[in-house]
Structures are given as C-alpha cells and as structure tokens.
Amino acid sequence: MKEVSVIIPVHKKNPFLRDSIISAKSQNKSEVIVVLDSFDKELKIFLENLKPDKIICGNWSDPSKARQIGIENSDTNYIAFLDSDDIIIENRLDEQLNWMKKNNINWSYASFIVIKSNKKYYYQLAEEIINFKKLIQVNLIGNSTVIVKKKFLPKKLPKPPLEDFKLWIYLSNENVCYPFNKFSRYYNIHPDQISKNKFKMFYWRFLYLIEIVGLKKTIVNFPYYIFINLKKRFYGN
C-alpha cells in the first residue's frame, strides 16, 4: 500500500537522476511522482523507462512550483521531497514513516551523507528536535530527508530563494521537527547543480531573518550560521 508520495522535480538530466528515481521506487510504501519542468521528449522517454508512478510535464519556472504540482497530484497522506541528484538509502523511507506513525509525529528529518567527487565530503547527523528558535540559528534539515503529513503543508509552497528554509519556518510555527537518527540519503555535489554560491545564500538568509525576527536577533544568530556552513565548505566535517 502506498503511504508516502515522493515528489521529485526534474529540470534536466544529471548524472544521478536514474539512481535517484530507482532509489525512490525501491521504498515499499512510496508513490513516486516526477514533475518535469520541460517538454523535452527525449528526457520524458528516459523518465518513462524508469517507470515512476506519475510523470507530470510543464513549465513551472522553479522547483517550489514543481513540488506544489506534485503535492496536488499525490494520493497519500504523507509527502517526502527528493532532489533529482539525491539517493535514498535502502528502506529509509519505510522505516522513517513507520517510526513517525508509531510516535504520532507530524514531520521529521533524518541524517544524511554528502558526497563530492565520489568521496564522503561530510555528514550531518539528525540529533536535535528542531523548533523555530533553533532554525533561526542554523538549518540542520536536509530537504531530501523530510517526511511531513500533507495536511500541515501550506496551500502554496514558498517561492525561491530559500524556499526550503521558508517552508521549515512555516512548519515549525505549528509543529516541531523530530530527528530520525539514521542515515537517509546520499547528497551529491556536482558541477550541474543550479547554484552553490554560499555568499548569495548568506545574503538571502540575512535579509529573510531580518524580515521574520528583526535586525537585533539576526545579528545575534547569524555568525553561528556562517561558521557552521563555512566549516562544512572548507573542512568537510
């Protein structure tokens, strides 16, 4: 029985796309929905050969809109997000969902491993309960590790930039995010990614934090966020 819909936005083919979709399909309880931001016939045929449950084609302009379309076409009560270059570890989705249902958890995140040039770059452990206060200090939540009850999602997902972080802020206003401390997926860093400009991310986050918590709290919390991210970037741990 399908219990969780895995939403995979696809903009173009990347070296990990096949393995990403196959890993989602291998989870016993998953409905796999690929939202293709293109009418590329060759890419659509490639995706059809992988046999996801649904393929939806269009011009969505951003991953947030693509995820929204996927959610609207889902047939389950839980939603999981998966970037098209990430790989779900065997049985993780099933185990995380079972754990959430057993403990009546509305949304959760999990540990993950970051791969760069086919080698472990760093890993992020899911060890803390995440609430709004913690999120404004540092975002420990990997997008492709999240499972959330669909009824708690907004009718319209936040738009870029920082669409993932904005969604976590929205969800944390009503529900804390619980850690599922098992490794959930491999996150691949590669040249085809849309953007990895950390300084732009710092700038966008700084402005957004001012908007939601004010300048004083932003100045207090922002240095820690920069420290954590630069540590990962330059030292890989």
Estimate to the nearest angstrom the gap between the alpha carbon of 166 and the chain centroid.
12
Alpha carbon distance 210, 125 (integer Å): 28
- Kindly list the distances between the CA atom of residue 47 and the CA atoms of 6, 56, 70, 73, 100, in Å, as whole numbers in the listed order: 15, 11, 15, 18, 30
pTM of the model: 0.92
- Evaluated on CA atoms 87, 203, 164, 67, the torsion sign reads negative
For residue 51, is it left (φ>0), alpha (ψ between -120 and 50) or beta? Answer: left
Number of Cβ within a 10 Å radius of residue 149: 17
Backbone angles phi, psi at 160, to 5 degrees: -65, 160
> Rg (Cα) of the chain, in Å, rounded?
17
Domains, the chain, with CATH or none = 4-194 (3.90.550.10)
Structure tokens at 25: 């399909």
Question: For residue 237, what pLDDT is reported?
Answer: 41
Strand, helix or coil for residue 124:
strand
Alpha carbon distance 86, 8 (integer Å): 10
Closest CA to 9 of 53, 69, 49, 51: 69
First-to-last alpha carbon distance for the chain, in angstroms, is 39
Yes or no: say if 32 and 10 are a contact pair by the CB < 8 Å rule. no
Question: For residue 87, what pLDDT is reported?
Answer: 94
Q: Kindly state the helix (H) or strand (E) to which residue 211 belongs, with its residue range.
A: helix 198-213
Give residue for tokens 């669909």: 150
Question: For residue 196, what pLDDT is reported?
Answer: 55
Number of Cβ within a 10 Å radius of residue 179: 18
Over its length of 237 residues, how does the chain's per-residue pLDDT go in tens digits? 899 999 999 999 999 999 999 999 999 999 999 999 999 999 999 999 999 999 999 998 788 999 999 999 999 999 999 999 999 998 999 999 999 999 999 999 999 988 877 777 778 889 999 999 999 988 989 999 999 999 999 999 999 999 999 999 999 999 999 999 888 777 776 655 544 567 788 899 999 999 999 999 999 989 888 877 766 543 344
Number of Cβ within a 10 Å radius of residue 28: 12
Give residue for tokens 């393995």: 19
Closest CA to 89 of 186, 7, 17: 186
